[in-house]
Amino acid sequence: MALDRSKIPQGREPDPFIFPQWQEFTLINGLTVVILPDRRFPQISYRLMIPSGATRDGRQSGLTSLTSELLSRGTKTKSSSEIAELTESIGGRLSTGSQWDASFGFISSLSKYKEKSLGLLAESILHPAFNDEDIQFLIDQRLNNLLMSRDSTSFLASFAMGCTLFPDHPFELPINGTPQSLKSFNRPAILQHYKKWIQPCASILIVLGDVDPDQILPGIEASFAEWKPMPWESYEFPIMPLIKKNQVVVVDKPDAVQSSIRVAHHGVSRKNPDMPAIIVMNTILGGYFGSRLNMNLREEKGFTYGVRSVFTERIFPGYFAVATDVRNEVTGDAVKEIFHEIRGMQKELIDFKTLENVRNFLVGRFPSDFETTDQLSQALMELKLYGFDENYFSRLRNQISRVTAEQVLDAARKYLNPDNAIVVVGGKASEVAPQLSQFGDVTLFESELI
């Protein structure tokens, strides 16, 4: 029988998604070890998650990020170049860094070199050199990056958004630091931060790949035996600053021919119970190419090449933001359309066809999001960092597939706040500021921290 190509083929029910099972152990020093064998390829990876991220910086923006990056830049017995050569010789890669909620160390290699890669990771975490030349190199590198970023309206808008949305708050300043904070760092400050926050208690080592748990565990215990637990200092997260009315902020870049727009307000934590509906709602609004924002600002109006909306999901509530770049002359019109689409999500039920398409899009992505060892270890880290159980991703997928139009509308009304939002624009103030006065009093953003 000939195919009728005028009709979309009928899809089948997606296969069930089950996250792989792992084994879990706790060492004497408090380090948790999670082992997930995967013998598809002769590879192994170790991902160490330390639950102290950039929220520990206080007013020393960039200190956690700098400290964690230096962990892979040399040990007491090996220079950074020697570490790079050794990593390459075992077919691997080594990296360390941080995010808002945690710091991490990662190494991968061919599985036949699993002892060498484990030893190298342990040495990097337990015996970092923190050489003055490496410290100064990274500081200079970041200062140069910040200097170049000042030419980007996108950077200027994002920087001003953080300062406006989170004044005197850990989320106010960038993870990588400011010129003022970076210039104040030295070896004693970095060493003190390392001793205070790089701890085995509550840290998790995720081992994934071609490995036998019974064979690898003794080596892990021996490699991290020197890592002594220290008492965690109590830490209270500041109360979220309130936004009581719309605010408009412009960061002036006189030579800009386009403006970077951020429409933002406070968001939700990663463990919000309404997360499945929030994910579907945000995807419809601005989370994929067929979103309402993109169809309006890009396809219909031709204002931009693309626009997106996002909820940043952290242990503590982050932010919701719509971000896009447009021509100077349509800046005000673009902001108007952004508010129009946000409020439109709160007015009426989404049609079933759109809802079904978005649910299928999100559910269909799950298998490809967990294909590689990198993706699996990242997902495991997320489970442990946020305290989710082993069925979280399977449950989330099923919940997304059953989100209703009523739940989407409820999520939009609960978690979108167009009347308590900030509008931040990086661009040519003389051209864009007059267009923005309709959204509130316009103030120019000036900061010595940029």
Neighbours of 191 (CB within 10 A): 13
Average pLDDT over residues 12-24: 80
CA distance 391 to 35: 17
- Phi–psi pair at 22, nearest 5 degrees: -130, 170
168 DSSP assignment: T
Complete edge-to-edge strand list for the sheet that includes strand 93-98: 23-26, 32-37, 204-209, 43-50, 103-110, 93-98
Yes or no: say if 238 and 168 are a contact pair by the CB < 8 Å rule.
Answer: yes
- The CATH homologous superfamily to which domain 23-223 belongs is Metalloenzyme, LuxS/M16 peptidase-like (3.30.830.10)
CA distance 67 to 81: 18
Q: Write out the DSSP string of 75-97.
A: BSS-BHHHHHHHHHHTT-EEEEE
How much is the pLDDT for 400? 97
Residue 244 has pLDDT above 90, yes or no: no
How much is the pLDDT for 449? 80
- Band (pLDDT 50/70/90 cuts) for residue 12 is low
Sign of CA dihedral 316, 321, 325, 327: negative
How much is the pLDDT for 245? 80
Q: State the virtual CA torsion across 17, 19, 20, 22 in degrees, nearest 10.
A: -160
Residue 234 has pLDDT above 80, yes or no: no
Cα–Cα nearest to 262, from 172, 185, 302, 322? 322
Sign of CA dihedral 280, 286, 288, 291: positive
Residue 319 has pLDDT above 90, yes or no: yes
Quick check: do 23-223 and 247-444 share a fold? yes
How much is the pLDDT for 204? 96
How much is the pLDDT for 8? 72
- Only one residue has tokens 């509530």, namely 317
How much is the pLDDT for 225? 94
What's the gap between Cα 385 and its chain centre? 13
CA distance 33 to 206: 6
> Helical H runs in 386-447?
392-401, 405-415, 429-436
Average pLDDT over residues 33-37: 95
CA distance 121 to 437: 54
Letter for the amino acid at 418?
A: P
Q: Which H/E stretch holds residue 25?
A: strand 23-26
What residue spans define the domains of the chain? 23-223, 247-444
How much is the pLDDT for 350? 96
Average pLDDT over residues 341-353: 97
Burial zone of 99 (CB within 10 Å; 0-12 exposed, 13-18 middle, 19+ buried): middle
How much is the pLDDT for 14? 66
Average pLDDT over residues 297-318: 95
Average pLDDT over residues 34-50: 93
- Collapsing DSSP to helix, strand or coil, 145 comes out as helix
pTM reported for the whole predicted model: 0.92
Burial zone of 416 (CB within 10 Å; 0-12 exposed, 13-18 middle, 19+ buried): buried
Residue 372 has pLDDT above 90, yes or no: no
Which of the listed CATH numbers 3.40.50.10490, 3.40.640.10, 1.10.3720.10, 3.30.830.10 matches domain 247-444?
3.30.830.10
Residue 11 has pLDDT above 70, yes or no: no
Residue 16 has pLDDT above 80, yes or no: no
How much is the pLDDT for 242? 76
Residue 24 neighbours by CB under 8 Å, 6+ apart: 32, 33, 34, 35
CA distance 281 to 274: 11
Residue 240 has pLDDT above 90, yes or no: no
By residue count, the chain amounts to 450
Average pLDDT over residues 374-399: 92
Residue 315 has which token pair? 């242990």
CA distance 394 to 37: 19
Average pLDDT over residues 325-332: 98
